[in-house]
A and B are shown apart, each in its own frame.
Chain A
Amino acid sequence: MLRPKNVILIDDDLDDHEIFDIALKDADPSATCTYFVSAKEALDKIELLKPAPDYIFLDLNMPGVSGIQFLEIIKKKNAIAGIPVVVYSTSILPLHRQQITTLGAFDYFTKPSSHGELTRILKKIIHQ
């Protein structure tokens, strides 16, 4: 039996926390998720998390520290730079796509419009 997955979601939208939570439970009932409403809050606390998260799901458009900035910062923190970051945003401009890849994001996908689709995507990412 594999150790239960532990992920975090950084998104300023509380509805998306809820949608993500439902989809994650459907994708992997054993998985747990820690939620942050801002990148700043996440940066302050990620290193304190035990065990360290398996994946970071990251929204791009957030007030304060943006998703892109978060990526830049986290990749310079040796202790947590290795955690795969999956960008999870409403729209990803071609310009951002390039930036995200250059900054070392693990994967990216646009927020789907159905619960089923999100479940499918999460299942795929977590179990690969």
Chain B
Amino acid sequence: MKNLEYDNSILNTSTGNTLIILKENRNNKNFHRDLLESLPVAVFTCDKNGFIDFFNKAAVDLWGKEPVIGKTQWCGSLHATLLDGTFLTAENNPMALAIKNGAVKWNEEIIMTCQDGATRVVMPHTQLITNEAGEISGAVNMLLDITEQKKAKDKIEESGQRLSLAIETAQLGTWELNVKTRKVSYSKRYLEILGYTDTVMLDHNQLLMHIHPDDLEHRNKKIAEGYETGLINFEIRILWTDKSVHWIKEQGKVFYDDEGKPDRLMGTIMDITERKMAEGELEKRVFERTAELQQANLKLERSNHELEQYAYIASHDLQEPLRKIRTYSGMLHQDLVQKYDKASSAVLQKIITSAERMSNLIYDLLNFSRLLKPDNIIEPTDLNSIVKNVINDFELALEQKKARIEVDLLPTIQAVPLQMNQLFYNLINNALKFSREDVVPKISIKSRTLSKSEISGNKNLNPQLAYIDVMVSDNGIGFEQSNAEQIFEVFKRLHTRDSYPGSGIGLALCRKIVTNHEGDIYAESVENKGSTFHAVLPIDLRRK
């Protein structure tokens, strides 16, 4: 239903050229119609009142519907705005403006909302139609759909903006080098990183001059590698013109020509001076701490060594004069006994006894200090044979006191055998020593396994280990339960030395031994009834 009735119409083009539709063709309506119909762009015309009187198929496709001839005004779309969102009223339609002003000035894209709701971006090309008299009789409009171009252009602009934002945020300087011509280009930030505040023109050689001489070789090696791998990535020091040293990280990509030779390098540089300084500071601190630790270790070793020296002095230098006192006293005592000088020999006997006690004290102290040394080896230790050996040592004392000793079957545990020997030596020694005069000493040694709750209930034990409790009981003089803790302290005695001789170290030694084994020791006692010592020891100290 297209109408095309122009009499010698003149189409004014925007370029000013005039296309005269010749009279000869005027009657050939099909020619015009076919020509316009086949155009891939939307073309439509309106009369001077804006009523659409012609449109082609492309226009219908764009609008999504056919306008009604003589009814639809100015445009076939539902809604149109300018790019800034301004609603395009009928009066401001490009055709309306052209007819009103008698000239076409439109140069703006329009966003059209079509019948199906989609929006299209179009560029209108409007021309006025005048009749033979030169009067404006209408307008022709061509709508170029530039939606896709617009989208593509926006996309490019957006990714470009994103890139520069990223580069700016990361404070990256960008650069490009033509490998063959050595021509370089760089960003303002690039210059800033090199220490320039003004924009200066530098050639490739001048840029290379900024590289720290010590790092130039590294940089050249990395660039050579980059030619092979296609990627550049290295960290070097650069020198500013004021001779200050700065660290940069350079990253880039190599582009090759058709022959596969490096053609262009493109990349970024970043100032990493702060990071490098922090790393350096960290390294320095680690170094300092390590040195301090080594120093402390050395001190510890020295003090350990001194401790060993003390132990040696105790065992040697102190024993030496004592031994002589005892030897000479002994000789003198023999002499006095032969001369029947009872008074003098009794006094001398006291000297001998004191010297003996001091010898024992030194010996025990030395043993105690040896427990502090960590070089004891843990191995499977059969407590049965340990106890058997200790009992053998007391054979004479047991016989003299007519003591009875009962030993249950004991387990084999992971322990330091020598320390186990010392532990049971002291416990059995005490049981024998603190016997009651009028009662036959009875000693029993039993063991049992501790339950999980018993282990967790004792804060001295390691909950990850399994424990046994070895109980050494006697029927001796006992002690008040209130003293049960202090008997384990060094040199703590409950009795005079005369009544019960000893160094006062025995039980302290026992406690030290069980502590070394992550165990516990405690005593239960009733005065004049007897005592029970509990040595709680782990079955396997190593299994954690």
Contact = CB atoms under 8 A, between A and B. Distances in A.
A90 B319 contact: yes
Interface in A83-121: 90-91, 93, 111-116, 118
A114 B316 contact: no
Contact of A15 (B312, B324, B326, B334): B324
Interface residues of B, number: 17
B331 interface: yes
B315 A113 contact: no
A90 B327 contact: no
B315 A91 contact: yes
Nearest to B311: A93
Contact of B316 (A61, A112, A113, A116): A61
Point out which of A61, A111, A113 has the most chain B C-beta atoms below 10 A from its C-beta: A113
B91 to A, nearest CB: 115
Interface string B309-333: 0001001100110111011101100
A112 B330 CA distance: 12
B323 A90 contact: yes
Main secondary structure of the interface of B (DSSP, over half): helix
Main secondary structure of the interface of A (DSSP, over half): loop
Interface in B199-234: none
A13 B356 CA distance: 21
A15 B323 CA distance: 11
Contacts of A22: 331
Given A15-B324, A111-B323, A113-B322, A90 B330 contact: no
Contact of A90 (B316, B326, B355, B356): B316
A81 interface: no
A113 B312 contact: no
Nearest to B323: A113
A91 B327 contact: no
A19 interface: yes
Given A22-B331, A91-B315, A93-B312, A113 B320 contact: no
B174 interface: no
B473 interface: no
Contacts of B330: 113-116
A90 B324 CA distance: 11
A115 B319 contact: no
Contacts of A112: 323, 327
B326 A114 contact: yes
Nearest to B321: A15
